[in-house]
Amino acid sequence: MQAKNIIEVIVDVPTMQTDRPYDYSIPEDLKDLIQPGMRVQVPFGSRNLLGYVISDPKATTDFEGELKDITALLDDEPVLSPEMLALGKQIAAENFCFLVEAYHTMLPNLLKVDYDKYFLPTTSISYREHAQYFSDFNEISWAEAEEKGYLADLIKLKKDNKVSIDYRVEDRKRYKTEKWVQPLMGFDQLEDELQNVRKTAKKQLALVEVLMELDGKKVSAKYFEEFDIHMATLKAGAEKGWLSLFDQPVNRDPYANIVIEKSEKLQLQAQQERAFAAVKTAMDAQKDEVFLLQGVTGSGKTEVYLQLIQEALDKGQEAILLVPEISLTPQMVNRLKGRFGDMVAVLHSQLSTGEHFDEWRKLKNGQAKIAVGARSSIFAPLHNIGLIILDEEHETTYKQSDNPRYHAREVAKWRANKHGCPVILGSATPSLESRARAQNGVYTLLEMPERSNHQALPPVELIDMREEFRHKNYYQFSRKLRDEMQATMDRGEQVALMLNRRGYANFMQCRDCGYTFQCPNCDVSLTYHYHNKQLQCHYCGYNAARPQTCPQCGQTHLREFGTGTEKVEQEINELFPNKTVVRMDMDTTRRKGSHERMLKQIADKKADILLGTQMIAKGLDFPNITLVGIINADTSLYLPDFRAAERTFQLLTQMSGRAGRGDLSGQVLIQTYNPDHYALTLAQHHDYDTFYQTEMRYRKLNQYSPYFYTVRFTVSNFDDHTAMATAAKVAHMLREANVAGTKIIGPAQSTISRVNNQYYYQLLYQHRGNQAIHQVLQAIQDRAQNWSKDKIYVSIDVDPMTFM
């Protein structure tokens, strides 16, 4: 039998032509080390690239040419488990993305690599040339050559074989280290040393004494700080031979300096107990059952999660808890850390790449057993998962909006199946898709209709803003909301105000001629930002200083239209001059830790009013907030998206749930121009069931999800006509395939038809989910390979969450 010294590698070139395994031979010295799931460096063409080993060693290859050797191994153990290797294939196939892309998103960024190119002199280079381009060195990087203007010359020398190019792969993987101290002398020796130290060298005397106490034990250099002994003294000690300093790899801990209150296990109430028992039964039976836990806001879902996670730990298993956007739910993280301490690893986008890598590593090597985080945490490198939870399962952030366009819910089900464990989908307002599956018995429905503090859900009032206008009230605030804010704050309680800004732009217009300021690269209005007096494009980032005169008519009567958080904040300052406002939106929360700081201000009652965009609707739990006001409820209602009503209903219900979470009763005021729309009236009455039924009728009538599946194609090109014509070709291919029960909508211009000077067309394909569909989609994907050569890009989004 032949030796098995060939392996399959996926190379780091995200294109259609290279989206397949390449065979490489294993050099003798790596033979016993190489395993599937490891990262390797391979020669590919004239370059060196990162690759993922995806197969066990095999004896034969179909490749006709001569196999190349793997250049180097980048890991000492696999970074992708066999489960992950299989999962990547599944994701790539279902979402029409490249396999490398799938593997990349499953791993922390630190495991990506940088590519560098270096020029090296060969033996045929002249002394003169060497001196000119390399001076005293034996290499020069491509970037440096470019900077110094040598690039053209060096490329010429390359042609004459006077220099060669070295393609390097630089692993970004770095371990953080700390200085540690290894005592080198025993007690008696140190005692002798004590005599040799000058009596005035107080620090050194102290150091010797501490070392004597350590009795040979290794400790961190930090340990000496409490004796006021610092690095200079330790270095002196090392020179005298008392100790040696070495680098100890440590985990970066983003929560190191944060004090977390211990959270105690609570007594479960009857409805929680029922949900707990149902999931525990599935866990005991190792069944991959999916539960839809539908509990009203404040019903105590989190406590159920925590106790079930405890169950998993007790069995020696691990758990994953997904939240929509972790930086918005610090309270959830605190509760988990308070209950489970170091067992929790938190993964989210505001961590540095190094911190993220270390949290990931803790999960991989078993130091932590609970993964908490946003969407990508579903790929947590755990080995024996006992439970997966998606909190607020209806949130659209669970679907990634660019490649690979996976949905965390689907990945969760896939992993649950592999691990034989249940999945909990938790929400007060489940997505229609999930609720329909629960209705059909595909998921098990668990209901928690009561609030745990036994407070009734807060009364909700709809305020007709058309009336306000008729009464010549031109503020963003209705008279009622103003009065109630005053009364609430007079009682020493707090107010939360939400501005529903989705799909809404602040724009600037000339009052004389009606000219509006548009982005030169995109078909959208520019948004005016008050704080830096700039007009900005929210799609391509274009910005310009606020003009003083109208470019069309030259007049100076320019005015900002629309409602932004900044403008509302100004009005609040006008109406309630001695109250403090905390404003939370994309602008004020960009910096690391700013969420926590702002929420702490509310928790400590240093502020009276919390004003924010929809980010404040999620997971906040402040007992002293008793009034919730929604400034403009209906801006999300008439978006070109069949889920517009569902989103509005979910948002209003969720925001209403922020009121009256403690012992004080709360109230909610919703300002609207559509007080009769069912999404609003049913949110007003906390009536999910009627909303579900009403909305399902509408979806059935119009053949939308969950009755039909949707695939969205987006075609883009710098030329308007080419983009349109290609979209028509896609439509043609779908029509030709002629699959029964399908429907084509479009092609049509995208809502924003031009972004960054690229024209966008989209096309929707509704189907009932049979195998023939996948073939058509694959055929279009294959055609797209040719189109991409002409810079025409076609993207396929299976079950899209947005239609903009």
**Residues of the binding site:** 510, 513, 519, 522, 537, 540, 550, 553
Alpha carbon distance 290, 277 (integer Å): 14
Alpha carbon distance 566, 342 (integer Å): 40
Taking CB under 7 A as the criterion, the residue among 24, 133, 305, 443 binding DNA is 24
By CB under 7 A, residue 18 contacts DNA = yes
> Is 502 in contact with 735 (CB distance < 8 Å)?
no
Alpha carbon distance 329, 803 (integer Å): 27
Taking CB under 7 A as the criterion, the residue among 81, 115, 534, 705 binding DNA is 115
Considering the complex, state which of residue 43 and residue 746 has its C-beta at the smaller distance from DNA.
43
Considering the complex, state which of residue 68 and residue 592 has its C-beta at the smaller distance from DNA.
68
By CB under 7 A, residue 118 contacts DNA = no
By CB under 7 A, residue 61 contacts DNA = yes
Q: Smallest gap, in angstroms, from Cβ of residue 119 to DNA?
A: 12
Binding to DNA in span 764-803, by CB under 7 A: 788-789
Binding to DNA in span 146-185, by CB under 7 A: 167
User: Which residues participate in the annotated binding site for Zn(2+)?
Assistant: 510, 513, 519, 522, 537, 540, 550, 553
Residues in contact with 649: Cβ distance below 8 Å, sequence separation at least 6, in sequence order: 429, 679, 682, 683, 691, 695
Q: Smallest gap, in angstroms, from Cβ of residue 754 to DNA?
A: 22
Alpha carbon distance 795, 415 (integer Å): 26
> Is 33 in contact with 77 (CB distance < 8 Å)?
no
By CB under 7 A, residue 47 contacts DNA = yes
> Is 118 in contact with 163 (CB distance < 8 Å)?
no
The stretch among 41-49, 333-341, 404-412, 477-485 that binds DNA (CB under 7 A) is 41-49
Considering the complex, state which of residue 58 and residue 230 has its C-beta at the smaller distance from DNA.
58
User: Which residue, 303, 262, 473, is CA-closest to 391?
Assistant: 303
By CB under 7 A, residue 65 contacts DNA = yes
By CB under 7 A, residue 67 contacts DNA = yes
> 527: helix, coil or strand?
strand
Alpha carbon distance 616, 631 (integer Å): 13
Other C-beta atoms closer than 10 Å to the C-beta of 172 total 14
Query: What does the per-residue mask of binding to DNA show for 615-654, with x meaning CB under 7 A?
Result: ----------------------------------------
Give the DSSP letter string of 400-446: -SSSS--BHHHHHHHHHHHHT--EEEEESS--HHHHHHHHTTSSEEE
The stretch among 61-69, 259-267, 289-297, 491-499 that binds DNA (CB under 7 A) is 61-69
Q: Smallest gap, in angstroms, from Cβ of residue 42 to DNA?
A: 7
Taking CB under 7 A as the criterion, the residue among 1, 29, 46, 721 binding DNA is 46
Taking CB under 7 A as the criterion, the residue among 38, 44, 339, 711 binding DNA is 44
Compute the Cα dihedral for 14, 20, 23, 28 and give only its sign: positive
Task: Give Cα separations from 710 to 97, 425, 597 (angstroms).
Answer: 17, 22, 41
Q: Smallest gap, in angstroms, from Cβ of residue 566 to DNA?
A: 40
Task: Give Cα separations from 653 to 68, 175, 682 (angstroms).
Answer: 60, 45, 9
Taking CB under 7 A as the criterion, the residue among 22, 622, 649, 709 binding DNA is 22
Q: What is the largest CA-CA distance in the chain?
A: 95
Considering the complex, state which of residue 213 and residue 790 has its C-beta at the smaller distance from DNA.
790
Taking CB under 7 A as the criterion, the residue among 63, 246, 638, 718 binding DNA is 63
> Is 96 in contact with 781 (CB distance < 8 Å)?
yes
Alpha carbon distance 312, 308 (integer Å): 6
The stretch among 17-25, 174-182, 327-335, 419-427 that binds DNA (CB under 7 A) is 17-25
Query: What does the per-residue mask of binding to DNA show for 197-236, with x meaning CB under 7 A?
Result: ----------------------------------------
By CB under 7 A, residue 68 contacts DNA = yes
Q: What are the tokens at 72?
A: 């180097």
Considering the complex, state which of residue 22 and residue 360 has its C-beta at the smaller distance from DNA.
22
By CB under 7 A, residue 15 contacts DNA = yes
The stretch among 44-52, 254-262, 383-391, 619-627 that binds DNA (CB under 7 A) is 44-52
Q: What are the tokens at 121?
A: 């002199």
> Is 760 in contact with 752 (CB distance < 8 Å)?
yes
Considering the complex, state which of residue 62 and residue 239 has its C-beta at the smaller distance from DNA.
62
Taking CB under 7 A as the criterion, the residue among 27, 30, 36, 43 binding DNA is 43
> Is 610 in contact with 488 (CB distance < 8 Å)?
no
- Residues in contact with DNA by CB under 7 A are 13-15, 17-18, 22-25, 42-47, 61, 63, 65, 67-68, 115, 117, 167, 788-789
